[in-house]
Amino acid sequence: MCTINLGPLREVMMHLAASSSVELVGYVIGYKAGHEGEIHASALIMARNMSKAAEKEFIAEPRDILVAHTVAENLGLDVVGVFHTHPSCPPVVSAKDREGMRNWPIVWIVASPRGLGAYMPGGSGGGIGEIRRCTIR
């Protein structure tokens, strides 16, 4: 089971999704709790999208990724998720997102004007090609 508790970040993510015509990207910092490993989001650290095709993909600025990890470490937390928007598509993982999940096997949160979705690589069979949907609280 995969559960992520976004708290007030849920509204922030939805606002970001509705306010931009390009993909936005950020990193969720927080912690895992309990025997089920529920993820609790504490903060969202935004990164610059360096893609020349930012309306349909993101490439996070590497220095911004480092900042997210540094902030998390300084707070005694971890980078627990990748957040990005789909300005004109549903909030589901794309083929490009699936590629990214191979490098970042943590929860991926996709926000669009149509809603919010959270996904974790590795389904019940454990294969990286499988994606499971997470419950958002």
> What is the value of pTM for the model shown?
0.92
Tell me, what CATH number does 120's domain have? 3.40.140.10
Q: How many domains does the chain have?
A: 1
Q: Give kind and range of the element (H or E) at residue 62.
A: helix 62-74
What's the rounded Cα separation, in Å, for the pair 135 and 137? Answer: 7
Q: Which of 11, 23, 55, 99 is catalytic?
A: 23
Residue-number span of the structural domain to which 39 is assigned: 3-136
* Tens place of pLDDT per residue across the chain (137 aa): 789 999 999 999 999 999 999 999 999 999 998 777 799 999 999 999 999 999 999 999 999 999 999 999 999 999 999 999 999 999 999 999 999 999 999 999 999 999 999 999 876 554 556 788 999 99
Q: Which residues pair with 110 in a beta bridge?
A: 84, 117
Active site (annotated) includes residue 23: yes
